Structure 1
Amino acid sequence: MNLLRDNALIYGRLLTITEPHLIERYNKALVAFGLQPTRLASFGIDRTGFSPEIAEELGDYQYLDPNEVNRRFIILTPDQVDLPVVHTAFSNTGKLLYEFFTSNSRAIDALTIKDVIYGEIEDSVAKVEDIEDLLTINQVEFRVLSAEDVLGKAAELATLTDRLKREPDAWRDDEMLQRMVVLAKVCGDIRENALVPDQVIFRHNAFWTSHFGGTYVFVDRDVTTVVADPSAPGFRRSRPWQVSYIAASDTERVFRFLAETGRIELPRASWLERSGYLEHRAEMTIRALIRDNDPGADLTGADKVWLQTWIARHADLITEDGVFPFLNATKREVAQTGRVELDEISPQHRFLIVRARPDHPDAWLTNRLISDFVPSDFVSRYVFNKQTFYKEYEGCSEAWRRQVVAVLKSTYLKDKAAFRARLYGLTD
């Protein structure tokens, strides 16, 4: 993983913490979680407060996610809102944290001047043992604490202030007034500084989770759909009248579900021709063939000219594989007719020529699921499915790892937003 880290392809864009007072606050949160304080003088954190350096120091990459549910968080600064989430068991953890930050920005701004905010994103279950446990999670609540109890003191000050307003003789209570002075020194003017987050409950909609080897849960008006390994506990057993179950290996049913629920953009000239999507898939196909069939190839200068030369020299192999010719045929059909007849295409090949509908709320999750069926496209897997990407990367040769890093640097990392907008139609 060192090559990925050196090129900001793993644990990239983390916020470096070096200020002694912030490290002290972080340690208070660690101790509150029952963990050992860090001795590091510098470490990076993501949106949730997770630090890979501290995970290594503790020897526990789950230190903020001990049961892979009820995720812990540590907030040192409002600036964390713009950071990525680099380690999570649920795909929507980052979105939930973002909603918490933006919905309570004034309170977070004020609190982090004086204190560290920490706590848990509480689900309805303490431990996931079967699919039914996942299906019961329809909302989460942020249980918010602060090391110096600024939150509790602000709440106490608010109560005393209300009493002072409501009770005519309350101003005669010298002990109460003195307590208010003490609290105000800590909290400031709570009429101006909103110190207590007022929105802590958020919807938990469609998501992917690492449980049971990877499980998708999609929520529609009348039915919830689970895409998972059939061996997962509770598969086809939990609430069959409300839940549709699809085996993750059932390519045809997964595709039909995505199409019928309007989650995918079918192959049309309107987006295929301007996006370069088919050309991208074709290049990824050839690179995968090189990896699997020509391990001795020198990939140092594997640019488009080099790839064309390799294609010419391995025409029989490419024809036998069939994917590259299929993509070229699809490109011709789109140019001639503006669309593709999917009924005549095998289910596995269909995923090569579709993407998530960009305006659908589940676009990122859908693109993640599509990437499961296109293992040759490591760029798409990196963008939407980093857990799988990292796992597969670990099993590759050093030469192929260098090639993967080179391709990601020359494509996605050059301008992530522009790349996502062009290839996948995504604007966020």
Structure 2
Amino acid sequence: MKRLIEKGLMFGNLIPVVSPILVERYNRALKRLTGKQTELSDFHIDISGYSPEVGDELGDDLYLNHHGVNRQFILLTTEQKTAPLLNAKFSTSRGILRQFIATNEAQLFALTARDAVAGELVNSVYALDTPARLFDIGHVTIEADTTDGAVASAAKLGGMIDDFMVKDGAWHDDVLIANMISLAKDTGDITRNPVNLNRMTFDQDNFWTAHLGGVYVFRNVKEPAAIAMGDLAVLGDLPIDRVVGADQRSAIAQFLKVNDLAEPIIEARGIDSAAILRQKMDFIVADVATSLGEDMGGATRRDLRSLGRRYYDKLPIAWRGLSDLVRWAEDGGAWPRIDSEHPAYFYTLRAKDHKDADMVNMLLSELSPMDVRQLFICHKEAFYTAYNDWPDAKKAYVADFLSNEYQVDKAGTREALFGFEDAMEEPTGPWGKGTARNDLIDRVGPWGAVKRR
């Protein structure tokens, strides 16, 4: 992993904590949440305040995420909103934290100027002692306050002020006035500078969890289902109509189709679909070449084409399917029959434009693991796990590629791969507009209907 860290591909964009006052505030919050403290004088934190250095010191990577269910957080600065979330157990956690910070940014900026803000993403489940408990998670509520309870004190003071304004004879209530003055010493003038954080609750209808070998839960769709990437036998009976295993390709494809969650890359508008598919082919060539001992240092796309010719007879069916699809798109070659059981099928899809697009792309990246760029962008936990098992030549090639071609323009790459463009008039392609060939594609896609089992 050292290579990834050096290139900013792991633990990148973390927030440094180097000043003694910030370390002291962090320790106060850490003590309040966990009863533990760090002896480190400097470290880095993610959006939740988790530090890999502190986790290593404490021997606990989940010191802010007990049982991996109720994520706690420590905010030292609003700049944490741009940081990643490490050791994520739920796909929704980073988005929730980011939205909380953005919504309360002005208040958090003021609060963190003098203290740390500590809190928790609270749900009704404290441990996943059975797989079915996963489905008891219906919503997540954020609770947060400074370590000295400034928000709670301000709320209490606000109630006292309300009582003072309406209570008869309040000017003569010395106890009430004394308590108000005492609290105001800590909170300041809350009538001019309100100290409050919006209490925010988020529905958890569709989400991914790392628990139980990895499970994608889709409850708020036309035909709900859970897609398990691990052992189905471990899950047992779940309170959802349909449970699908990772090896049930046709069932997953049908689920995506009936719920209108994915689309063929080749039909997506506003992108160079053939170039995207060619890059996926290059990744597959690199996977084969490095497994056979090839040194990929400094390899160009021309080198990859040469390696593709050299190892043509060893390239998997997925590569050949993508090659046929590119040939069809660019040169009007034979129409490829790539159904849902074909190894290339999930390499040819991307999420459609909907609120769960990131989650669907995450699922597709697990189903097309040789596309290392998509795996890195959409599912870092799966990427790091896969990286550990690669030969060193592939590790070097992938790290160099991501550093040189992805890191330099992350937003542009994501927009090119996963961005959406409004539908426009159908362009005139090599077969003309409105031909029987195009009408057929509109009905069944460029590779035929999805199999139904």
TM-score above 0.5 = yes
**What is the Cα deviation at residue 223 of structure 1?**
4.6
Q: Which sections of structure 2, spanning at least 5 residues, go unmatched?
A: 422-453
| Partner residue, 2:285 | 286
Work out whether 1:349 is the aligned partner of 2:347: no
Work out whether 1:401 is the aligned partner of 2:400: no
**What is the Cα deviation at residue 222 of structure 1?**
5.2
Q: Distance in 2 between matches of 1:113 and 1:138?
A: 34
What residue identity is the alignment partner of 2:256?
Answer: L
- 2:343 aligns to what SS in structure 1? helix
- 2:49 aligns to what SS in structure 1? coil
Q: CA 1:6–1:100 in structure 2 vs 1: closer, same or farther (change >3 Å)? A: same
| Partner residue, 1:4 | 4
| Partner residue, 2:141 | 141
What residue identity is the alignment partner of 2:232?
Answer: S
Q: Distance in 1 between matches of 2:194 and 2:140?
A: 22
What residue identity is the alignment partner of 2:287?
Answer: A
| Partner residue, 2:303 | 306
Task: Say which is worse superposed, 348-357 or 188-197, in terms of deviation.
Answer: 188-197
Q: Distance in 2 between matches of 1:26 and 1:370?
A: 38
What residue identity is the alignment partner of 1:109?
Answer: F
Q: Distance in 2 between matches of 1:347 and 1:138?
A: 36
Work out whether 1:170 is the aligned partner of 2:167: no
Work out whether 1:332 is the aligned partner of 2:330: no
Q: Distance in 2 between matches of 1:146 and 1:338?
A: 64
- 1:16 aligns to what SS in structure 2? strand
- 2:361 aligns to what SS in structure 1? helix
What residue identity is the alignment partner of 1:300?
Answer: G
Contact 1:348–1:373 (CA<8 Å) still a contact in 2?
A: no
**What is the Cα deviation at residue 419 of structure 1?**
0.4
Q: Distance in 2 between matches of 1:95 and 1:244?
A: 27
Q: Distance in 2 between matches of 1:330 and 1:219?
A: 33
What residue identity is the alignment partner of 1:307?
Answer: L
**What is the Cα deviation at residue 124 of structure 1?**
1.6
Kindly report the root-mean-square deviation, in angstroms, between the aligned alpha carbons of the 2 structures: 2.2
Q: Give TM-score, length-normalised by structure 2.
A: 0.87
Q: Distance in 2 between matches of 1:84 and 1:385?
A: 12
| Partner residue, 1:88 | 88
Task: Say which is worse superposed, 367-376 or 298-307, in terms of deviation.
Answer: 298-307
Q: CA 1:413–1:171 in structure 2 vs 1: closer, same or farther (change >3 Å)? A: same
Contact 1:272–1:278 (CA<8 Å) still a contact in 2?
A: no
Fraction of identical pairs, as percent: 29
What residue identity is the alignment partner of 1:409?
Answer: S
Structure 2 counterparts to residues 18-417 of structure 1, below 5 A: 18-221=18-221, 223-228=223-228, 229-231=230-232, 233-235=234-236, 237-240=237-240, 243-271=241-269, 274-275=272-273, 276-292=275-291, 294-295=292-293, 297-318=294-315, 321-335=316-330, 344=339, 346-357=341-352, 359-417=353-411
**What is the Cα deviation at residue 355 of structure 1?**
0.8
- 1:207 aligns to what SS in structure 2? strand
Q: CA 1:202–1:344 in structure 2 vs 1: closer, same or farther (change >3 Å)? A: closer
**What is the Cα deviation at residue 175 of structure 1?**
3.1
Contact 2:116–2:147 (CA<8 Å) still a contact in 1?
A: yes
Q: CA 1:339–1:306 in structure 2 vs 1: closer, same or farther (change >3 Å)? A: closer
- 1:302 aligns to what SS in structure 2? coil
Contact 1:269–1:334 (CA<8 Å) still a contact in 2?
A: no
Deviation string 1:131-167 (CA, Å, 9 cap, x unpaired) is 3211111201122232111122112211111111011
Q: Distance in 1 between matches of 2:314 and 2:264?
A: 29
